[in-house]
Amino acid sequence: MTDRPRALEAAPLLPLAVAFAAGIAAAAWYENTPPRLLIAAGAMLLVAALLLSARRPRVALTMALAAIALCGALRTAPAPLPLDHLARRALDARVTLEARLDQEPVRWALDRTRLLVEVDALHLGPERLPASGRVQLTVYGEPTAPLGEGQRILVDARVYRPIGFRNPGGFDYPAHLRRDGILLVGNTRGDRVTALTPDLPPWRVAAKRWAVTVITTRLPETSGALLAGLLLGERTALPRESDEAFRRAGVYHILAVSGFNVALLAGAVFTGLALCGVPRRGTAVVAAAVLLAFAAVVGAQPSVLRATVMGLLLLAALLLDRESQLPNALALAALALLIWRPGDLWEPGFQLSFAATAGIVYLTPWLTRLLVDRGWPNWLAAATAVSLGAQAAVTPLMLLHFNQLSLVGIVANLAVVPLAGVATTLGMGALLVELASATVADLLFQALWLVLLALRAAVHVAAALPAAMVHLPAPGPATVTAWYVALLLAPLAAGSRRLRAVVGLLLVVVGVLSAWPWLRPTESMLRVTFLDIGQGDAALIELPEGPRLLVDGGPGGGRRFDVGERVLAPFLWNRPLGRLDAVALSHWDLDHSGGLAAVFTHFDVGEFWESGRPPPGPSDAVTALARSRTPRRVLTAGRRLWIGRALITVLGPGAGPPGAANDDSLVLRLDWRGVSLLLAGDLGSRGEAQLVERGGPLRTLALKVAHHGSRFSSTAPFLEATQPHLAVISVGARNPFGHPSPDALARLVSSGARVYRTDRDGAVILETDGRRLRVTTWATGAVEELDLVSGDTTAPE
């Protein structure tokens, strides 16, 4: 009736892999102390052995699996840092390091290159101290000499601990780096990197460079960049809009090297050799060698390793004349990868690769049968089932990590995957021919260009469809679990009414839980989140009964790391916002307006509030605003408007002639149930003085401190007039301006304000019902409560 029981029996490694992974996952929830775990695991195995001799094999198996789970937990325990590790030192602002490049440099923006180095020594004046540690360096500008993997360099850099952006639902960047053994990051300039040895890369790097050079010289730029992505996973040269189109169409996976490439490669080698009359065992050996070489060239990403392990296992089965079992091969790959790098369990790449493969292996036979029974032609049913199986398995993960749900993905894959298959096979063939004859290879590349154009056209059409991709909040653990259990049971439910009812019920649970953010009653609470977006300002004000106001969008836009796209937009996606009722911009400086480009691109904005001072020049935010056709409203001092039940009073800029951009910041005041908040933009001393002069309601409970705590702001007269109880400074760590200045901090503290700062506290969240005010600092998790009636401060629990 079903394949599952047989499949399980034939996959003895599956329970082991699941137990090991469960151990790793569980270890994240408690502090594990290795010796205790080791003893526990040993004891469990002993008990299991005893139970086995007492003829209780089932209980013994459970005990043994639990012991394996403990081994998984043990494996996550971090190894103690070596004594000479750089992270053990208190480092000066600037250090000179002697290091070896552990990877090819990655150019991720026009003038930014990322180097991953393994440190050998630290130079302190004339002294050379041996040191160790992996450091990720960002190089600004052009390095003086071309750099490559394996090269030894001397570099003068600022080195510090990574902090990332600490916002609710945000990506934990330091943890991601830590899993890769990187405890320190740094930045430097191109002219501060000196090569100590010539650039003589190992053969695999040389092969990859050669392939990229051939591809980019034989093909025009965009098509060449696409082929480099298809064949080698080299996506850095791919233009931004193409990258975005592949995401929107839900076919981004073909740009990563995966089982798809490995299967095509193995298949091509196999068929080619078989057609030339090489015996089967010979072809299997050659194919295995080619797979290993390919994996070495493209690098050790989880998806490549998974596919290579599985491919080798299938080839080995062929060699030994054994029947191959996909679930078992998948489990072995998982086990091997997790033993080697347990932290990969948390990496999106690992999860997506294994989920997609498991979805295809487990769901496709059932789905194919389902479709064929409905009268679909066999080939179409099989292709659709593969696409559906993979999509069903990765959907929760895509939502969890990227808030993305591609609605055209299932259909787009039907067209894109075959084209990508042809392009990949032809591309590999052309590279091989290039070794023998440049002329013939050129002809192959010309033909390949047409295939690549067709592929781009298919992706372009799919991505251009309205609602090709929607952004939704990340699902909770209950939703994800219910979905996967439903998937697990679905193929078994064909014969059983009860199971079918269970699956139906689970799907209803998934539906209700996913829709809950929209269904639940609105809170009668005011919440203000000052986001940690680095050096800049962005605050989301969520008013009772639903209206939402975003004040400033932080830095972003342009071709560099786009904080708007990577931090602000995910934060907003994770709140079930249909729309933002208004977006207010204090002034057009890029640390306030840059991130708005992403906001206007991705969100429905009711109104745009501005001070009326024109932007200094064209920018991505200006373009995105114009394109979004958002209605604009110019606000000047004295204007009052209601948003929901809260009153917004505009305190600046005044009507006079334009002054400095900062002093002309749009200054807003919000009042709700006696709670007040003053958002002071980037006011300098003159702007603050004008504000005090102009009068108006200035006394406030909470103040968004002007200009990131600059020493020219937060002047004594202004603080005298506003008398804030809470002062929030929106500022980035290690900013070059010295914000917040000690003088301004001292003035704030002496005015009696409690100071919060996003560079230390992460996101600062104020929540109030009008009687009590709760302040949460996200980086530390600390919560403080202030009784607005009596004025007492307490820290609950």
Partner 1 sequence: MPYTLPQLRLLILLAMTLLMGLGVREWRARYPDAADRLERFDREESAVPLEPDAPAPAPPSSASRRAAPPIATPAVSGLSPPGSAPTGTAPPPPAQPIDVNRADAAELARLPGVSSALAQRIVEERERRGRFDSPEALRYVLGMGPKKLAAIRPFVTVSD
- Write out the residues near partner 1 by the rule CB under 8 A: 111, 140-141, 189-191, 220-223, 239, 241-242, 245, 275, 426, 440, 442-450, 453, 456-457, 459-460, 535-536, 555, 558, 560, 589-592, 612, 614-618, 622-623, 625-626, 629, 631-634, 658, 660, 662, 684, 710, 712, 736-739
Residue type, position 623, single letter: T
Q: Name which of 574 and 619 has its Cβ closer to partner 1.
A: 619
Tell me whether residue 194 or residue 481 sits nearer to partner 1 (CB atom).
Answer: 194
Q: Which two tokens stand for residue 620?
A: 């991505």
User: Does a cis peptide bond (omega within 30 degrees of 0) precede residue 618?
Assistant: no
Helix (H) or strand (E) holding 756: strand 754-757
- 499 within 8 A of 509, measured Cβ to Cβ: no
Least distance in Å: CB of 632 to partner 1?
A: 4
Token pair for 559: 């071709």
Cβ closer to partner 1: 102 or 244? 244
* Alpha-carbon distances, residue 360 vs 384, 409, 650 (angstroms): 11, 15, 57
Alpha-carbon distance values, 69 to 37, 344, 354, 381 (Å) = 10, 16, 19, 39
CB of 560 to partner 1, least distance (A): 7
The residue type found at 229 is G
Q: Which is nearer to partner 1, 241 or 720 (CB)?
A: 241
CB 708, CB 730: distance < 8 Å: yes
CA separation for the pair 342, 76 (Å, rounded): 6
Give me 8's structure tokens: 């399980």
CB of 636 to partner 1, least distance (A): 12
Task: Please identify, using beta-carbon distances, which residue of 447 and 494 lies nearer to partner 1.
Answer: 447
Query: Nearest approach, Cβ of 702 to partner 1 (angstroms)?
Result: 24
Q: In the bound complex, what is the minimum distance in angstroms from residue 249's beta carbon to partner 1?
A: 11
Which residue lies nearer to partner 1 by CB, 611 or 777?
A: 611
List the structure tokens of 545. Answer: 């009964």
CB of 401 to partner 1, least distance (A): 26
Q: How far is the CB of 736 from partner 1 (least distance, A)?
A: 6
CB 728 within 8 A of CB 705: yes
Nearer to partner 1 by Cβ, of 717 and 752: the residue is 717
DSSP state of 710: -
Closest CB 737 distance from partner 1, rounded Å: 4
Distance CA 786, CA 288 (A): 66
Alpha-carbon distances, residue 164 vs 545, 566, 760 (angstroms): 32, 11, 11
Give, for 405, the enclosing helix (H) or strand (E): strand 404-406
- Residue written as token pair 């040389």: 206
Nearer to partner 1 among residue 142 and residue 720 (C-beta): 142
CB of 463: closest distance to partner 1 in angstroms? Answer: 9
| Structure-token pair, residue 707 | 């200009």
**CA gap 514, 763 in Å, rounded:** 26
* Secondary structure class of 610 (helix, strand, coil): strand
In whole angstroms, how close is the CB of 703 to partner 1 at the nearest point? 19
Helix 34-53 vs helix 57-76: angle between axes, to the nearest 10 degrees?
160
Minimum separation from the CB atom of position 12 to partner 1 (A):
37
Of residues 189 and 772, the one with the C-beta less far from partner 1: 189
Q: How far is the CB of 555 from partner 1 (least distance, A)?
A: 8
Other CB atoms within 10 Å distance of the CB of residue 358: 22
Peptide bond into 220 cis (omega under 30): no
Classified as helix, coil or strand, 93 is: coil
With respect to partner 1, which residue has the nearer C-beta, 444 or 490?
444
Instruction: For partner 1, give the closer residue by CB, 560 or 774.
Output: 560
Q: Which is nearer to partner 1, 246 or 350 (CB)?
A: 246
3-state secondary structure (DSSP) of residue 424: helix
Contact 16, 68 (CB under 8 A): yes
Name the minimum Å distance from CB 661 to partner 1: 8
CA separation for the pair 23, 21 (Å, rounded) = 5
Residue placing its CB nearer to partner 1 in the complex, 731 or 748: 731
Nearest to 342 by CA among 110, 580, 610, 68: 68
